[in-house]
Structure 1
Amino acid sequence: MSEMSLIAGRFLRERLHKLVGRRGERQTPIVPPANVAGQALVTVIAIMTFLASLTLGGVMLVSDAASSWQSQIAREITIQIMPADGLDMAATLSRARAAILSQPGVTGASVLDDAATGRLLEPWLGEGLDLDELPVPRLVIVSIDESAPPDFAALRTRLQAEVPQARLDDHRAFVDRLVAMAQAVVLAGLAILGLVLAATVLTVVFATRGAMSGNRQIIEVLHFVGAQAGFIASQFQRHFLKLGLVGALSGGAAALVVFAVVGTWTRANEATPEADQIRALFGSFAIGWSGYAAIVVLVATVGALTALTSRMTVVRQLAAIDMISPVES
């Protein structure tokens, strides 16, 4: 054996001894435990997890709010009676109420009086309205049994027979549009969530390749002297799992703080127009325990995805090295 071979063999053994170490000794990690690239990756993962958590929480809020709207609308239907010359509005409203109360599936009916109708129109037409001078339809609010709803077609036919001026509105068209809008928002949110996770995976791939490039000589030495690809990949996997969990926890915690702060502000400012608009769109702006659990699952998913992506990238890179090395030799 030549002197160069002895020197090369001694060098390889020393590098392997420093990296792997003896049993009970602290091993020198292949990947540096802390560097600028690692800090940047933690920041990127934190931002991605923050955006993903906001998206997930927003989707859950919209879905819950839409379900609440749909349930509230499904509990009530409306009878509208247009004013006409010679029509006794009070008597007509009473007949319509009596006719609808006799039908199965109806739990109650109340006539919307002049004061309540004026309050509904006040934001658009101002105060002091004289409803007798305006062709404003009068309303009967009908409560229905959600567990055993009535036959709306039969209900409409009976009402038309009793009160020809009445028109039944079951809000079905509005409910259909509401459900379609909620589904579109949910699908858009899930698509954004998928894009954020895909961007996170690509970021981890580039970071892993960068770490491998900076430690290429050490990795090749280990690999050529017999270190299995799984051992090398596990070193990177452990390192990037830690980075992924730190970043994901930071981003998820920041998102939870945002939801908690906005929810607290909404509850503390219930009388303001801004809070009323938020409550109308998103309810109480509280994601509840299911939302917190979903964000925790998202954080764990991001950490596991980071580790798995790093491992797969290392294995693929080592396989590429094995394919290139015979050609170079």
Structure 2
Amino acid sequence: MTDAAPSPVRRRPALPLARLARRPGEVRPAPIVPPANVAGRALVTVIGIMTFLASLTLGAVTLVSDTAATWESEIAREITVQIRPEDGLDMAAAIATVRQIALATPGVTSAEAMTDAATSRLLEPWLGADLELDELPVPRLVLIGIDENAPPDFTSLRVGLIAAVPQASLDDHRAWVSRLVSMANATVLVGIGILTLVLVATALTVVFATRGAMTGNRQIVEVLHFVGARPAFIAAEFERHFLKLGLFGSLAGGFVGLLLFLAMGYWTEVNQATPEADQISALFGSFAIGWKGYAGILCVVAVIGVLTAATSRWTVMRQLAAIDMLSPVES
């Protein structure tokens, strides 16, 4: 007599979501995910810190990019002609000749020699005040304004200046512009890399937090799953829970980031006369990230909130699929 084969475990058919909902007059069941616990508060703190770092990164990238664009525009609007002093050179006549040639060149909007007072201020940190420029072999500068939309032919202008005044040399600042653009591009790439790492770290944190929440409520999850609750229903419960946590943490971190940039902008505006503010203004202007920077921070807040919910849902669906693989085969 042979033993009868054990009958496979049968799972009940999936129930509609309305059957799992609370009926009128019934006591509301305990939620699948606890609304507030120590792990939830820790996750909110981590998401807030990650959002703050992402906001700082995005604001810094925006600030550097805008400042570099301003520098590039200012440099592109002006070139410099330097006239080296030599024995027998009539500096005044040489300056006049340079101005005449520059103004006759298409694409040049202005040509002004740097005054003795301005030149003295440039040399004052090294040579002291009350300089007598006529007694020193100091090169003189002619500042030439150019049209950004229709710049002159720099090669022809350089050849014409050297032919008329051999002691003159033209600096079109192209080397500085190239270095400036390279620095700005490198800063943007580094910022994008840091922002990506912050988002990846946030997603991994949510994955571990979701797994921990499922482990803490494993019995409830398995009972609901095996009695027919659809995976999408269970995942939606976790998704709503972690969406609230993600939005709360990201809003807190983004708000602190916005306050920091607003405070720095206000500080530089109020303390414009101090050396510290002058140095910051020389590097970053008014330290204002503009509406694009603030809009970017708000986008980061929304992205991190949505990323938290989506990562939680994805984790729950994978965990439920793993439970199905380990459970007995359905008939």
* Length-normalised TM-score, structure 1: 0.91
Q: 1:18 to 1:167 in 2, by over 3 A?
A: same
Q: The residue matched to 1:322 in structure 2 has which SS?
A: helix
Amino acid in structure 1 at the alignment position of 2:319: Q
Greater relative contact order: 1 or 2 (C-alpha under 8 angstroms, separation 6 or more)? 2
Amino acid in structure 2 at the alignment position of 1:83: P
Amino acid in structure 2 at the alignment position of 1:220: E
Distance 2:216 2:19 in 1: 18
Distance 2:324 2:240 in 1: 23
Taking only aligned residues, the RMSD between alpha carbons, in angstroms, comes to 1.8
Residues 20 and 229, structure 2, Cα contact 8 Å, conserved in 1: no
Residues 19 and 30, structure 1, Cα contact 8 Å, conserved in 2: no
1:107-131 residue CA offsets vs partner (Å, 9 max, x unmatched): 0010012211010111233212232
Alignment of 1:272-283 (within 5 A): 272-283=274-285
1:18-68 residue CA offsets vs partner (Å, 9 max, x unmatched): 974326864531000011100010000000000100110000000000000
1:7 is aligned to none
Distance 1:24 1:319 in 2: 34
1:74-116 residue CA offsets vs partner (Å, 9 max, x unmatched): 0000000111111111111111111111100000010012211
1:183-234 residue CA offsets vs partner (Å, 9 max, x unmatched): 1111111111111111101110110000000000000000011111100000
Of the three residues 315, 318, 321, the one matched with 1:319 is 321
Of the three residues 252, 255, 271, the one matched with 1:253 is 255
Residues 111 and 140, structure 1, Cα contact 8 Å, conserved in 2: yes
2:196 is aligned to 194
Amino acid in structure 2 at the alignment position of 1:320: A
1:244 is aligned to 246
2:76 counterpart of 1:78? no
1:290 is aligned to 292
1:170 is aligned to 172
Comparing 21-30 and 266-275, the one that deviates more = 21-30
Distance 1:19 1:216 in 2: 18
Amino acid in structure 2 at the alignment position of 1:54: L
1:137 is aligned to 139
Using the TM superposition, give the Cα deviation of residue 290 of structure 1 relative to its aligned residue in structure 2, in angstroms.
Answer: 1.4
Q: The residue matched to 1:189 in structure 2 has which SS?
A: helix
2:206 counterpart of 1:235? no
Q: The residue matched to 2:32 in structure 1 has which SS?
A: coil
2:100 is aligned to 98
Amino acid in structure 2 at the alignment position of 1:34: A
Amino acid in structure 2 at the alignment position of 1:79: V
2:151 is aligned to 149
Q: The residue matched to 1:32 in structure 2 has which SS?
A: coil
Amino acid in structure 1 at the alignment position of 2:96: S
Q: The residue matched to 1:326 in structure 2 has which SS?
A: coil
Q: 1:200 to 1:82 in 2, by over 3 A?
A: same
Comparing 17-26 and 134-143, the one that deviates more = 17-26
Using the TM superposition, give the Cα deviation of residue 177 of structure 1 relative to its aligned residue in structure 2, in angstroms.
Answer: 0.4
Of the three residues 299, 302, 305, the one matched with 1:300 is 302
Q: 1:137 to 1:40 in 2, by over 3 A?
A: same
Structure 1 unaligned spans of 5+: 1-15
Q: 1:50 to 1:176 in 2, by over 3 A?
A: same
1:40 is aligned to 42
Q: 1:271 to 1:281 in 2, by over 3 A?
A: same
Distance 2:151 2:287 in 1: 30
1:22 is aligned to 23
Amino acid in structure 2 at the alignment position of 1:233: A
2:216 is aligned to 214
Of the three residues 53, 61, 64, the one matched with 2:63 is 61
1:10 is aligned to none
Q: The residue matched to 1:221 in structure 2 has which SS?
A: helix
Comparing 170-179 and 131-140, the one that deviates more = 131-140
Residues 18 and 28, structure 1, Cα contact 8 Å, conserved in 2: no
* Length-normalised TM-score, structure 2: 0.91
Residues 18 and 27, structure 1, Cα contact 8 Å, conserved in 2: no
Residues 63 and 289, structure 2, Cα contact 8 Å, conserved in 1: yes
Residues 19 and 29, structure 1, Cα contact 8 Å, conserved in 2: no
Q: 1:167 to 1:23 in 2, by over 3 A?
A: farther
Identity percentage of aligned residues: 69
Amino acid in structure 2 at the alignment position of 1:235: E
Using the TM superposition, give the Cα deviation of residue 17 of structure 1 relative to its aligned residue in structure 2, in angstroms.
Answer: 11
Q: 1:22 to 1:40 in 2, by over 3 A?
A: same
Structure 2 unaligned spans of 5+: 1-16
